[in-house]
Chains A and B, each alone.
Chain A
Amino acid sequence: MTRPEDVLVQRLGEAVVEQVRFRDDLTLIVPREHMLRALEIAGSTGFRLLTDLTAVDRHPAQPRFDVIYMLTSVEQHARIRFMVHLAADQTMPSATSLWPGANWLEREVFDLFGIRFDGHPDLRRILMPDDWEGHPLRKDYPLVEEPVEFKGHTPKVPSEIIPKSKPKLL
């Protein structure tokens, strides 16, 4: 039996630059310019539900952002994840023409990461106030902290109490 993911990968062909499989999750890395086309193909292959659309900030690595699309096939019970590497100054094509539900998700990514989506009908901030400056989920956005109040002592700020360990690469 061929799984829907495999069918999709076959149909996408050249558009997929890299396939990553980690703990049964299949991630397809697609270049930015093919993304919309890839989503359209995925949609017609049965992955009709746009479960999630989000981004990850890899600062200071380059390219800085990953934009992630998670699709689900409601009928065939399969999932697929698309990932686009995006430089800080690049924009993404909007998926709102394929899924009206992408509207808010893209607004959220814009709000929290500052990634712009071309062709989005109404790209405004959604969670933060309209006059907010900066994009909070970027890694270079400072976490504003205050030490907890104690009598006669000023402890370290919360995020420094457990030191962040060095990333170990597989």
Chain B
Amino acid sequence: MKETLVLNMGPQHPATHGVLRLVLELEGEVILNLEPVIGYLHTGFEKEMETRTYHQNIVFPPRIEYLATFIEEQAYVLAVEKLLGITAPKRAEVIRLILAELSRIASHLVYLGTAAIDLNVTSLLMYCFRDREEILDIFEMVSGQRMMHGYFRIGGLQWDLPQGFAERVQRFLDDFPRRLDEYETLLTDNLIWRKRTEGVAVLSAEDAIRYGCTGPVLRGSGVSYDVRKAFPYGGYADYEFDVPVGSNGDAFDRYRVRMDEMRQSRRIILQALRGLPEGPILVDDRKVALPPRRELVRSMEAVIHQFKLVSEGIHPPAGEVYASVESPRGEKGYYIVSDGSNRPVRVRVRSASFNNLQALPVMLRRGTVADVVVAIASIDIVLGDVDR
């Protein structure tokens, strides 16, 4: 009989990207069995969202998944709008799209930095965070907060864009490809990086679908499924972009897919900036959106609407909807059940990380301890998203 070593990796471990615990059964350094244990960050967001109004719940999505904040808000807001049967004005939609794509870049940069530091490329983390900081500065400029924005509203946005927004984004995007190339020189052209990621954590397309994987994990395996293309939402149908797809389904392919996605995001933002329409940023429906502030001093009616909307909240019709967006980690969906009251009966957060993480044991069949780190980084989990 062979003796095996059972190793508990985490929940406090530098490379598990949060409080993830892995129970590894090892023979030497080769993994025989692996079981992820989750739930250390379970905060009961779904339950809490049942106790608050639709408007108040806007604050939860970016806290569930704290790397791609605007995409989260977008997902929730779109779900509620679908429930109400309204769409945001065109300008609001485009602004949301720009911010969502910036979020995607910001999130992928965190992936890149952490994936690199998991393989001890310490410098890249700082470079990535430097770029991410610039995006967060733009976010702060727009919403007043760097991460937990609370900027999207049901039916539109809180404010219009500030002065100088387009120039600032443009400046960032102008410089961005050069930096990406620099990072690619550090990693893609690096023999050790390729050796560490190519053929590691392989997931076949069939397995990826059977485990419900989405996002770069699924696309890295060669399945071209992107919610932005498959079920266009929020105006994505109007823009030209490609969906990068890998072929081997290994960690390197996922890395490639994300790198290319950042370039595609840039392409989308540039198109959107050019075609940014003028117009209102909030629907003109007093049952859904607050009246403009300048009306509050002049019109008694506006004040009454304000009081009514704030103190009672929005009353969507009874029914249930599912709306999803393409988050940097995969399909992020909100399934909202309404009974016609001002609070949802049930908010289900379909998180991509949860499903993707489930495929980890498959990826690491007969892998080594050193591969675990690569695999986790390549799934790019956010534990807040997994445990909710």
Q: Within 8 Å of chain A (Cβ to Cβ): is B104?
A: no
CA distance A128 to B39 in the complex (A): 6
Q: Which of A23, A77, A162, A170 contacts B313 (CB 8 A)?
A: A162
Q: How many residues of B contact A (CB 8 A)?
A: 53
Taking a contact as CB atoms under 8 Å apart, the answer to whether B209 and A49 are in contact is yes
Q: Which of B56, B331, B346 contacts A56 (CB 8 A)?
A: B346
Chain B residues engaging chain A, CB cutoff 8 angstroms: 38-39, 42, 44, 46-47, 51-53, 56, 82-83, 85, 209-214, 223, 225, 230-231, 311-313, 315, 317-322, 324, 331, 333, 335, 337, 339-343, 345-346, 348, 350, 354-355, 358-359, 387-388
Q: Within 8 Å of chain B (Cβ to Cβ): is A85?
A: no
Taking a contact as CB atoms under 8 Å apart, the answer to whether B51 and A56 are in contact is no
For A145, give the chain B residue with the smallest CB separation: B51
Task: Give the 9 A-B residue pairs with the shortest CB-CB distance, closest first.
Answer: A168-B340, A101-B212, A101-B211, A167-B339, A159-B51, A127-B39, A77-B230, A127-B42, A52-B350
Chain A residues engaging chain B, CB cutoff 8 angstroms: 22-23, 25, 27, 48-52, 54, 56-58, 68, 70, 72, 74, 77, 79, 81, 99-105, 108, 112, 125-129, 136-137, 143, 158-159, 162, 164-170
Taking a contact as CB atoms under 8 Å apart, the answer to whether A74 and B225 are in contact is yes
Q: Which residues of A have CB within 8 Å of B311?
A: 162
Taking a contact as CB atoms under 8 Å apart, the answer to whether A166 and B341 are in contact is yes
CA distance A70 to B210 in the complex (A): 14
Q: How many Å from the CB of A164 to the closest CB on chain B?
A: 5
For A112, give the chain B residue with the smallest CB separation: B46
CA distance A129 to B387 in the complex (A): 12
30 contacts between A and B (CB under 8 A): A23-B83, A23-B321, A25-B322, A54-B335, A56-B346, A56-B348, A57-B346, A68-B348, A70-B322, A74-B230, A81-B322, A99-B212, A100-B210, A104-B355, A105-B354, A108-B354, A128-B42, A143-B47, A143-B51, A159-B51, A162-B342, A164-B341, A165-B312, A165-B341, A165-B343, A166-B341, A168-B317, A168-B318, A169-B318, A170-B340
For A166, give the chain B residue with the smallest CB separation: B341
Q: Which residues of A have CB within 8 Å of B213?
A: 101
Taking a contact as CB atoms under 8 Å apart, the answer to whether A165 and B342 are in contact is yes
Beyond A52-B333, A101-B359, whether A126 also contacts B39 by CB under 8 A is: yes
Q: Which residues of B have CB within 8 Å of A27?
A: 320
Q: How many Å from the CB of B357 to the closest CB on chain A?
A: 8
CA distance A128 to B387 in the complex (A): 9
For A129, give the chain B residue with the smallest CB separation: B39
Q: Which of A25, A49, A101, A127 contacts B38 (CB 8 A)?
A: A127
Beyond A51-B212, A159-B51, whether A79 also contacts B321 by CB under 8 A is: no
Q: Which residues of A have CB within 8 Å of B230?
A: 72, 74, 77
Taking a contact as CB atoms under 8 Å apart, the answer to whether A79 and B225 are in contact is no
